[in-house]
Structure 1
Amino acid sequence: MVESALKGAARTSALSLFLCGDVMTGRGIDQILPHPAGPQLFEPFVRSAKEYVKLAERATGKLPLPVGYAYPWGDALAVLARRQPHARIVNLETAVTASVEHWPGKSVHYRMDPANLACLSAAGIDCCVLANNHVLDWGHAGLNETLSSLHDAGILTAGAGRNAQEAATPAIIGIAGHGRLLVYAYGSESAGVPGDWAAAARRAGVNVLPDLSTKSVGEIACRVAKVRRTGDIVVISLHWGGNWGFDVSNAERAFAKRLIDAGAADVIHGHSSHHIRGIEVYRGKPVLYGCGDFLNDYEGIPGNEHYRPDLTLMYFLVMDPAKGTVVEFTAQPMQIRHLRVGHAPDEGAAWLHATLRRECARYGVEVERDTPTNTFTLHG
């Protein structure tokens, strides 16, 4: 079982964490870093990852190539430094590998060269969720190298492994004086995770969620119960649903609530949608149905502009380990521009606030905006 060191006294106090949606440091992002992988792609219309850099430059101007490892995180680094969360968790939608054996029949392949891994370390990422539809883009060799590269860098992983047991094992982050954070991750075919990517007893792969049934809830709850200790905070990270659309299905809502009722989750970390979706707070436990993309190379690609996929949020939760409930929930509005994350302009922050307030109102959650700091506070 992968576990970071837990030092200090056994007593626990509030635990803070940073969550975001899809982080895609491959393809165009990888090409602007100091050690890019080979640019060859196998997409129907784009054959070189360098084309995504050109698209971004046409949209917002020339890039100072190569950029430093911290560049893609932009203003997010200052926000993280100010907020100082105890744990930083992202969904990494990129294989970290030099493998050239791409997965056949797939139209999009994300890859970051392992020599660029300092890009993730620059943001102090503690855990990369890998249960998604890109971690096997460069085959089983690519997944194995991804796991090795991240672990060698001291970054925990969840949701993929060299066999089914490893893929289902949680990342355990021990935080002195604050207890432990358990991160379980699952990928759904509804988010484009191929069924044949599922890890098996003797095959590397993804921890695939077969369905949203009561049976699946029971199996997850059983796994969590075997590991969970008093005072642990459990995050269930789910790559589920389509890329576009604000609607959350009744099945998704019911599944999230059943996980919480079963004692299997304190936080539901949902992702796959390329834009923000609504948030619910059920029995004091936050359910993020879709965090939106946090970093990608889509700049300059037309389509779906009304969803504002360039706008994103940094989610900060303060949890009470004794009760497993959220005591403070805030979000910071950001924008993906020039292949980096920056502070959202005023019109972007206003759009994010109006959209999040509208979508959260469906679930009885209020969203306040503090204009001077451009910070959103959620009450549910």
Structure 2
Amino acid sequence: MPNHAPDLRLFLAGDLMCARGIDQILPHPGDPRLYEAYVKDARDYVQLAERRNGAFAQPVDFAYVWGAALELLRQRRPNVRLVNLECAVTHQGWPQPKGINYRMNPANLPVLDVAGIDCCVLANNHLLDWGEAGLADTLAHLDSHAIAHAGAGLARAEAEAPAILTLDRGRRLLVFAFATGDCGVPPGWAAGEQQPGVARLDDLSARSVERVARCIEAARQAGDRVLVSLHWGGNWGFAVSAQQQDFAHALIDVAGVDLLHGHSSHHIKGLEVYRERLIIYGCGDLLDDYEGIEGHADYRADLGLLYFADLAHDGRLQGLELVPTRQRQMSIQRATGADRRWLEDCLRRECAPFGCSLRPTSENSFALVWPPAT
């Protein structure tokens, strides 16, 4: 990491999917029945992963799936650890008629505790896979583990409210989370005045920017830093649309956002630093059970990044370390050799349109390089 002493260090990651195959290898596997068109038993995803990369002993402990990430977290000591939790945490509810339904056994929630996760963003296309009962159960279980959450609630005001993370010297980080329809969140999942659901944006218009800005204005106090986490776009495709870039810029210009944490794509996307604020257009997956699934090989969904962002006291980006990872045997490992080179080449290509590049570090990670502010 940079030599400076950051005012705020964040650990950010994309989709953490602890359901299906991941849930089955943990100490308390839930009901393996699935309601998918082709796969009817979650243990099949474990077998597919073993077929590709070899068998491993099960059940695993809660630390296993984090693999190399735990030591990296211990070394870097981020002030806040934030992930997009891409599943319901519940025994309740009924599978919604959407084809794929993710849930993990609440008894496996210590998988978040072992990594010290401070906050889960919940505005995504899988939180209501088990209906409103599953949503309510998820909120209750996260609360019981003292894990903050944002982006979903039993009514719109709760869904749009930030997770407030207290930092040292009385400072605060406000985490807001929203989702858009193009990532698969149906209109009926939107939280209403008395309706449980997620904080859903109808579009990326100026009206949506103003809506986010009003939420921030209602909660922000002097000295607060503001992060908006956004589940948007499709699962595959590196392109960042002009509309997405304009929306990201407007969140900074109009709403005063310090960092945009984007996710939904199963692979990494480009990075931008705009007015000295970090924009992550797509984090890629942190952990999933797709290891043995064929298709989309050009996107290398098994490869990812751990994002360690250092912010100054006024929200400016001071440094961003990107640690390359590979999922293997349902565990997060360091990416090396050809895998690391693929990530570096991909990042350089996707960041170049935004004027950003990479500098290899002595830790076998990458540091983002961006143009000076004008």
TM-score w.r.t. length of structure 1: 0.94
Correspondence for 1:308: 300
* Structure 2 residue identity aligned to 1:150: L
Correspondence for 1:6: none
The CA distance in 1 between the partners of 2:6 and 2:82, in whole Å, is 20
Native 8 Å contact 1:32 1:66 kept in 2 = yes
Structure 1 runs, 4 residues or longer, greater than 6 Å off: none
The CA distance in 1 between the partners of 2:30 and 2:226, in whole Å, is 35
Correspondence for 1:146: 138
Residue 33 to residue 284, structure 1, CA distance change in 2 (3 Å): same
Which one of 32, 41, 48 corresponds to residue 48 of structure 1?
Answer: 41
TM-superposition CA deviations, 1:307-340 (whole Å, max 9, x none):
111000000111112x221111111001111011
TM-superposition CA deviations, 1:283-311 (whole Å, max 9, x none):
00000000001100001111011111100
The CA distance in 2 between the partners of 1:302 and 1:91, in whole Å, is 24
The CA distance in 1 between the partners of 2:305 and 2:262, in whole Å, is 13
TM-superposition CA deviations, 1:56-80 (whole Å, max 9, x none):
1111111211100111111000000
Native 8 Å contact 1:280 1:286 kept in 2 = yes
Q: Look up the SS of the partner of 1:362 in the other structure.
A: helix
Q: Provide the aligned C-alpha RMSD in A.
A: 1.2
Shift of residue 178, structure 1, vs aligned partner? 7.1
Correspondence for 2:236: 244
Native 8 Å contact 1:225 1:264 kept in 2 = no
The CA distance in 1 between the partners of 2:71 and 2:337, in whole Å, is 18
The CA distance in 2 between the partners of 1:173 and 1:135, in whole Å, is 22
Native 8 Å contact 1:231 1:324 kept in 2 = no
Pairs within 5 Å for 1:195-344: 195-321=187-313, 323-344=314-335
The CA distance in 2 between the partners of 1:155 and 1:61, in whole Å, is 34
Shift of residue 230, structure 1, vs aligned partner? 2.3
Worse-superposed segment, 81-90 or 213-222: 213-222
Q: How many residues align?
A: 366
Shift of residue 203, structure 1, vs aligned partner? 1.6
The CA distance in 1 between the partners of 2:337 and 2:103, in whole Å, is 33
Native 8 Å contact 1:13 1:178 kept in 2 = no
Shift of residue 349, structure 1, vs aligned partner? 1.1
Shift of residue 177, structure 1, vs aligned partner? 2.9
Pairs within 5 Å for 1:18-167: 18-99=11-92, 101-104=94-97, 106-167=98-159
Name stretches of at least 5 consecutive residues in structure 1 with no aligned partner: 1-11
Q: Look up the SS of the partner of 1:25 in the other structure.
A: coil
Match status 1:369 vs 2:360: yes
Shift of residue 100, structure 1, vs aligned partner? 5.0
Correspondence for 1:180: 172
Q: Look up the SS of the partner of 1:64 in the other structure.
A: coil
The CA distance in 2 between the partners of 1:27 and 1:258, in whole Å, is 37
Correspondence for 1:7: none
Shift of residue 99, structure 1, vs aligned partner? 2.1
* Structure 2 residue identity aligned to 1:109: N
Correspondence for 1:5: none
The CA distance in 2 between the partners of 1:278 and 1:193, in whole Å, is 23
Q: Look up the SS of the partner of 1:203 in the other structure.
A: coil
Worse-superposed segment, 271-280 or 93-102: 93-102
Match status 1:350 vs 2:341: yes
Percentage identity across paired residues of the two chains: 49
The CA distance in 2 between the partners of 1:258 and 1:249, in whole Å, is 14
* Structure 2 residue identity aligned to 1:114: P
TM-superposition CA deviations, 1:230-284 (whole Å, max 9, x none):
2211111000001111100000000000110014311000000000000000000
Q: Look up the SS of the partner of 2:169 in the other structure.
A: coil
The CA distance in 2 between the partners of 1:283 and 1:376, in whole Å, is 22
Shift of residue 13, structure 1, vs aligned partner? 6.7
The CA distance in 1 between the partners of 2:29 and 2:352, in whole Å, is 44
Shift of residue 185, structure 1, vs aligned partner? 0.3
TM-superposition CA deviations, 1:91-143 (whole Å, max 9, x none):
00011001251112x11111100000001111100000000000011111111
* Structure 2 residue identity aligned to 1:46: V
Worse-superposed segment, 170-179 or 333-342: 170-179
Residue 290 to residue 13, structure 1, CA distance change in 2 (3 Å): closer
TM-superposition CA deviations, 1:196-220 (whole Å, max 9, x none):
1001122211100111011111121
The CA distance in 2 between the partners of 1:205 and 1:36, in whole Å, is 26
